[in-house]
């Protein structure tokens, strides 16, 4: 957590889960990053790219930047992403073979609107 209010809220939530324990989830976080920053953004461009191109300014600037970034990925990147995601899937399957649930905070802190505008 990056702020005291966030840490307090997380600690309060964990009080309702007395058996909770910390777990290493680096690969799961890497999988999420691959979905949101990797070749999967090409899927979003396929869905919204034409709209974004014909309606400048209609999308949030961050969304527009993500869609524009899709052009930098190749079919080779997509297949490499699929192979990597298969590895991450096996890690998640192993994790959930031993754990019933994974609980994580939705956000690492409670950012202000100004902070979000500066660094979405």
Q: What is the pTM of this model?
A: 0.76
Instruction: Report the alpha-carbon distance of residue 54 to residue 44 in Å, rounded.
Output: 15
How far, in Å, are 39, 62, 67, 84, 114 from residue 55 at the CA level?
23, 15, 13, 34, 26
Write out pLDDT tens, residues 75-113.
999 999 999 999 999 999 999 999 999 998 877 777 888
Is residue 83 within 8 Å of 29, Cβ to Cβ? no
**CATH number of this structure's domain 24-104+111-118, picked from the four choices 1.20.58.1700, 3.20.20.70, 3.30.310.10, 1.10.287.110:** 1.20.58.1700
Write out pLDDT tens, residues 20-56.
888 999 999 999 999 989 999 999 899 988 998 899 8
- Cβ neighbour number for residue 86 with a 10 Å cutoff: 9
């Amino acid at each position: 957590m990056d702020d005291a209010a966030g840490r307090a809220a997380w600690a309060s939530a964990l009080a309702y889960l007395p058996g909770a324990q910390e777990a290493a989830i680096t690969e799961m976080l890497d999988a999420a990053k691959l979905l949101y920053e990797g070749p999967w953004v090409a899927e979003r461009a396929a869905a919204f790219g034409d709209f974004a191109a014909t309606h400048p300014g209609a999308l949030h600037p961050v969304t527009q930047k993500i869609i524009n970034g899709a052009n930098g990925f190749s079919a080779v990147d997509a297949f490499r992403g699929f192979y990597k995601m298969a590895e991450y899937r096996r890690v998640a399957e192993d994790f959930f073979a031993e754990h019933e649930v994974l609980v994580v905070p939705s956000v690492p802190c409670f950012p202000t609107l100004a902070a979000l505008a500066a660094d979405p």
